Homo-oligomer: A and B are copies of this chain.
Amino acid sequence: MAIVLCIPIAALPPSLQDNVADIDRLKRALSETLGEVTLVAPWRLAGQVAKRFREAGFTGAALINQVEGRCELVDFLPALPALLPAMALDLGTTYLEASLVDLLTGRRLAQAHCPNGQIPFGDDVLTRIHAASRGSGLADLQKAAIASINVLCVRLAEQAGCPTQAIRAMSVSGNPTMVHLFLGLEPYHLCREPYIPLVNAPDTVCAVELGLDINPAAPVFVLPGVGSYFGGDLISGILASGLDQQEETSMLIDVGTNAEVVIGNREWLIACAGAAGPALEGGVARMGMRAGPGAIEHIAIDPASRAVEFQTIDQQPACGLCGSGIIDLVAGLYLAGIIDRRGKFRPGSDPNRLVAHGNGVSYVVVPADQAAAGRAVVLEQVDLDALMRSKAAMYAILSTLISQVGLAFTDLHRIYVAGAFGRHIAPRQAITLGMLPDLPLAVYRPIGNSSLTGAEMVLLDDQARSRCRQIMQNITYVELNVNQEFMLRFSGSKFIPHTNHNLFPSVPVFEW
């Protein structure tokens, strides 16, 4: 059942013999459909609902919010509506992605994204947490987030051809800091040992309380988190992958600013989040960018001719590299002998594209005259170094976690790859780099923006909402940053593909 129900009602009009009050009459009719549940008519809405029920001649459709432990009667329509739009939101630190789904059919009606209006307060969660502790910082950050979300509300409603007031519910999937700031809750302790959120599982809020530009009575369901570094976006990923429902053990990898990993099945779930160093979201490289128009998302280097072929999103002129583009590029550079196993440029290996300058050497991916706005897309040694640390951290996280549960990678049924890794991660290239384990490609399943998918699921299905609670209870969170084993594995992973070549039999090793 969806988070908001639309229930057809045909009640008898009142008479001297049946003088039950309007709201109680409507509740009586609803109890025939809803059965034995607690049904309340919130005071703020009761007068209006009664009026509409009367005006509609006691026949039409009642709207019911399903919130914790009870059903709330929030509106009455003269007839069943054609659509019942609800908004799913992936509330990212850098970007917001949202979609509108129809609660009646499950159909996706619209999609939109925009930057997080909190960016002027700081790029990452730590600077935002600090900003929140100064003066009116917390309120300002909340306002900035709500303003960005309201931009998306308007865009989604326009696309779907409905007023924003027709949006009857919202779900929000984000990391714990984003969730705290969205709700105006003090994030102070999130980044201070022992890293305690104010709340893991916020209860449903009413849209009007947060100033959201959707129907004031809309319930806002926030996906729960598990700890300061493991938020609702990850729970969304588990929902979207179905990890928590499968008999076989699988793994979920979500790479954003942090690398977050879950291993498990329907019996158990183990999770960890590692600060993977500079990671693969927009920002890893000077030319790094989010998967938007003009981002290079796939790139290939001919090992013989060293010719470069690439593909940008929406076929726009190239203006940067998204996560999948950077992985493709660095794997190609390695296979073409332009970088060595340590991820260092080999001067003279590609005279056409390697350019020496004061700081060292850079690789010209797209020359200025072929790139957007006449700005060449370039990869520098510092970008390569950052990627090497990220990929090493990633493999160290994955291998530490799999060893902690006493399994090998080959025991995994699937590896789901989610997050801002680019729209279409190519596992082959990530394996070449030694970032992901050397498993048959069929094991890998890219699941796109699973934070958004999970947010859509909780709107459409109360099973998904109860799965959230179940996941929260079943999951064991492992703190990797305090793990010695992790640091050893990290050092071993700082080569392409790895110091221990036996771990990556499918990757050729060149000794230049």
Q: CA–CA, A47 to B54, complex, Å?
A: 40
A21 in contact with B203 (CB, 8 Å) = no
A195: chain B residues at CB < 8 Å are: 16, 19
Given A69-B40, A69-B69, A185-B46, check contact A22 B194 (CB 8 Å). no
A24: chain B residues at CB < 8 Å are: 199-201
A69: chain B residues at CB < 8 Å are: 37-38, 40, 69-70
Instruction: Tell me the residues in window 192-224 of chain A with beta carbons closer than 8 Å to chain B beta carbons.
Output: 193-206, 209-210
Q: Does A302 contact B (CB under 8 A)?
A: no
B199 in contact with A50 (CB, 8 Å) = yes
A19 in contact with B194 (CB, 8 Å) = yes
Q: CA–CA, A21 to B190, complex, Å?
A: 9
A225: chain B residues at CB < 8 Å are: 21
Q: CA–CA, A41 to B69, complex, Å?
A: 12
Q: Which of A14, A20, A43, A68 has the most CB of B within 10 A?
A: A43
Name the residue on B nearest A70 (C-beta).
B69
Given A69-B69, A203-B42, check contact A47 B14 (CB 8 Å). no
Given A69-B38, A201-B24, check contact A14 B183 (CB 8 Å). no
Name the residue on B nearest A203 (C-beta).
B40
A194 in contact with B23 (CB, 8 Å) = no
Q: CA–CA, A228 to B19, complex, Å?
A: 8
A202: chain B residues at CB < 8 Å are: 23, 41, 43, 46
Instruction: Tell me the residues in window 1-49 of chain A with beta carbons closer than 8 Å to chain B beta carbons.
Output: 14-16, 19-24, 37-38, 40-44, 46-47
Within the oligomer, what is the number of copies of this chain?
A: 2
Which single member of B19, B185, B477 contacts A477 (CB below 8 Å)? Answer: B19
Q: Which of A21, A23, A203, A209 has the most CB of B within 10 A?
A: A21
A46 in contact with B227 (CB, 8 Å) = no
Q: Does A107 contact B (CB under 8 A)?
A: no
A44 in contact with B196 (CB, 8 Å) = no
Q: CA–CA, A227 to B200, complex, Å?
A: 45
A194: chain B residues at CB < 8 Å are: 14-16, 19
A14: chain B residues at CB < 8 Å are: 194, 196
Q: CA–CA, A193 to B17, complex, Å?
A: 11
A47 in contact with B184 (CB, 8 Å) = yes
B209 in contact with A43 (CB, 8 Å) = yes
Name the residue on B nearest A201 (C-beta).
B24
Q: CA–CA, A23 to B40, complex, Å?
A: 25
Q: Does A501 contact B (CB under 8 A)?
A: no
B46 in contact with A186 (CB, 8 Å) = no
A40: chain B residues at CB < 8 Å are: 68-69, 203-204
B199 in contact with A21 (CB, 8 Å) = yes
Q: Does A286 contact B (CB under 8 A)?
A: no
Name the residue on B nearest A205 (C-beta).
B43
B46 in contact with A199 (CB, 8 Å) = yes
Q: Does A51 contact B (CB under 8 A)?
A: yes
A309: chain B residues at CB < 8 Å are: none
Instruction: Tell me the residues in window 156-209 of chain A with beta carbons closer than 8 Å to chain B beta carbons.
Output: 183-186, 189, 193-206, 209
Which single member of B37, B199, B204 contacts A23 (CB below 8 Å)? Answer: B199
Q: CA–CA, A44 to B209, complex, Å?
A: 8
Q: Does A247 contact B (CB under 8 A)?
A: no
B21 in contact with A198 (CB, 8 Å) = yes
Q: Does A479 contact B (CB under 8 A)?
A: yes
Q: CA–CA, A91 to B226, complex, Å?
A: 48
Which single member of B16, B21, B198, B479 contacts A193 (CB below 8 Å)? Answer: B16
Q: CA–CA, A24 to B196, complex, Å?
A: 10
Given A205-B43, A209-B44, check contact A200 B20 (CB 8 Å). yes
Q: CA–CA, A344 to B69, complex, Å?
A: 64
Instruction: Please give the distance in Å from A227's CB to the nearest CB on chain B.
Output: 5
A189: chain B residues at CB < 8 Å are: 22, 54
22 cross-chain CB contacts under 8 A: A14-B196, A15-B194, A16-B194, A19-B194, A19-B227, A19-B228, A19-B477, A21-B197, A21-B199, A22-B198, A23-B198, A38-B68, A40-B204, A41-B199, A43-B183, A43-B209, A46-B185, A47-B184, A47-B198, A54-B189, A68-B70, A69-B70
Query: Which A residues contact B (CB, under 8 angstroms)?
Result: 14-16, 19-24, 37-38, 40-44, 46-47, 50-51, 54, 68-70, 183-186, 189, 193-206, 209-210, 225, 227-228, 477, 479, 482
4 closest cross-chain pairs (CB), A and B: A38-B69, A21-B197, A21-B200, A23-B199
